[in-house]
Amino acid sequence: MAYGHLAECGVDNMPLLPNHHGIELSLLGGFNAYLNGHSVGGFSYNKMRALLAYLVVEREQDHNREALAALLWSNNDPATARGNLRRTLFDLRRVLEVPSGQTMFASGKHTIRYIPGCHVDALVFTGRLSASPENLAKAGQNEEEIIALYKGEFLAGLSLPDSPDFEDWLQIQREAMHRRALALLERLSTQQEQAANYSKALQFALRHTELEPWNEDAHRRVMRLYAMDGQNSAAIVQYEACSRLLKIELGVLPSEETRQLAERIIKGELFIRPELKPDRQTIPQTHSERRQVTVLYCELSLAEIDDPDEVMDLLRTPQASCVAIIRQFSGHIVQTHGGGLLAYFGYPQALENAARRAVQAALAVTREAVPDIEIRAGVHTGLVITGGELAMPDTSGRTSKLAIQLRQSAAHNGVVISQETRAIVDGYFDCASLGVQLFPGLAQPLEIFKVLQESGARTRLDAAAQLTPLAGRNTEIAKLLKLWKSAAQGSRQVVLIQGEAGIGKSRLLLALTQRLANQPHAIRELRCFPEFSQSPFYPLIVMLETILDFVPGDTSKVKFGKLANYLEAHYPAQAPDIVPLLAILL
């Protein structure tokens, strides 16, 4: 079932605001239905609302009944799910079609389709005008009415935890509409600011901060507009509110740029309006892409120091070290608040092992802690809807917010991950459950885990608790065993195994080693990783650490002892020359 894009409607054929005639559906900020201006009752359960909203938004196609039943009743057997769908459609007809005399659904033996004909605020809000001069002019006149329709998120308060596919679809709609609201508000605020209408620009800028409270850029815009409007005291109040929010929600201080702006306002310096980009005639309609990412949030804090300037000075060096570590593991950092780092793995480029890299980065970052600095990290994997903006991969902030909340459950210099992340990295890390907890904004409790250390598994085969039997590779295994016998008799052999990712190359080699279990042999693996492309000796270092049985927490002295003991036992003649060289490498 495809549901990746919001439906469009022709705004030029539909009034922007309700006309109080016929059926009107309000899906923004909640769910409400009206008939001739009066509220319609009878929506007694959420799946009635969900089915109606889905058919209305995805109205440009006939929907297979079995697919709809599976979308909303995935926990039921197919026959029961189809029966539930029939009863729900009957209830919708009874509540809407019978009193209005309007046919809203075309249904056949195998399909159901919504027949457009009622006013729907969400469709007007997400509508795209054609690029004619008349429509461009109308867009400029109606943008304020369009943003006024956005009274809150799409179907706010509605949740179907037992219907995960519908929940995914719902998140896509919510994030795409949220993104459009932010784009509209930014455009309208910019337009009014360019026209020196600062009071009106403030209205849109303040709404922007309501929808995206963690966005420091949005708070700075409000501060600047207050100052340009001659309201310096209000600008400082906004700065203080921003500071409190960042401290409470993220555990960080405002950025240096925000603090400098506040200082300029306090000093009453003449503020010169910066050059702004030329006004555009249309709201950009970016292609929204559904993407799974892993979000890492790190909080660096100092105990018993309240002076923000002193805190920033002390955190500057360790924060820079943490930034370098996160980037080494291919993390995309989008925010560096005072004492806080927000990074995405698997964005903007998709990465097969994004979740593993994120947890590795979190552990590496916590090892940067010093006696006076505490570091906590939270990691969560979830869906985001991206529109190509590198600085804003998670517009609605749902996935990011949970990563930020998770760090509050971490001990000093600890890492906490969600059950979604644990399911992906299971086997690569030793974890301990911290129990099931309820987080704001989540309908269901979530089990979270403390990460203790890396398990030592280097591949998904190492990490797997149980492997399925290998089938269909007898010819390849026989050829490898023949080459092994030649090597065992003193004839050097080199084998190249190549093929597309995921076809079982590593699995084939594992099967070979299992066949050799009762024969004398030695296996030495050198593996390359993209995140260490700038470290050419990394594969050799990892191989040596494995051979020498290094474990996390080993001191330099312990590591040196293991190295010296191994080389003296296996290569006594060369050990005096080799030990110093490898000690430097390790």
pLDDT of 377 higher than 90: yes
pLDDT of 407 higher than 70: yes
Structure confidence by residue, pLDDT tens digits, 519-560 = 888 888 888 876 677 778 888 888 898 889 888 778 889 999
Q: With cut-offs at 50, 70 and 90, classify the pLDDT of residue 503.
A: confident
Residue 465: C-alpha distances to residues 47, 133, 457, 462, 468 (Å): 39, 63, 11, 8, 10
Q: What is the pLDDT of residue 213?
A: 85
pLDDT of 272 higher than 60: no
CB 181 within 8 A of CB 211: yes
Q: What is the pLDDT of residue 270?
A: 46
User: Taking residues 244-255, what's their average pLDDT?
Assistant: 80
Q: What is the pLDDT of residue 345?
A: 93
pLDDT of 56 higher than 90: yes
Q: With cut-offs at 50, 70 and 90, classify the pLDDT of residue 483.
A: very high
User: What are the tokens at 20?
Assistant: 């109080």
pLDDT of 104 higher than 80: yes
User: Taking residues 455-477, what's their average pLDDT?
Assistant: 74
Contacts of 196 (CB under 8 A, 6+ apart): none
Q: With cut-offs at 50, 70 and 90, classify the pLDDT of residue 435.
A: very high
Q: With cut-offs at 50, 70 and 90, classify the pLDDT of residue 228.
A: confident
CB 95 within 8 A of CB 118: no
DSSP symbol at 426? B
Bridge partners of 289, per DSSP, are 386
Q: Are strands 446-454 and 414-418 parallel, antiparallel or unpaired?
A: antiparallel
Element housing 38 (H / E): strand 38-39
Q: Which of 8-12, 85-89, 187-191, 242-246 is predicted with the least confidence, judged by mean pLDDT?
A: 8-12
Q: With cut-offs at 50, 70 and 90, classify the pLDDT of residue 337.
A: low
In single-letter form, the type of residue at position 300 comes to L
* Cα–Cα distance measured from residue 262 to residue 227, given in angstroms and rounded to the nearest whole number: 10
Contacts of 292 (CB under 8 A, 6+ apart): 346, 381, 382, 383, 384
Burial readout 253-265 (b: 16 or more C-beta within 10 A, e: otherwise): bbbeebbebbebb
User: What are the tokens at 262?
Assistant: 């506040």
pLDDT of 296 higher than 90: yes
Q: Which of 24-33, 311-320, 324-333, 407-416 is predicted with the least confidence, judged by mean pLDDT?
A: 311-320
User: Taking residues 82-107, what's their average pLDDT?
Assistant: 92
User: Taking residues 71-95, what's their average pLDDT?
Assistant: 92
Entry pTM: 0.60
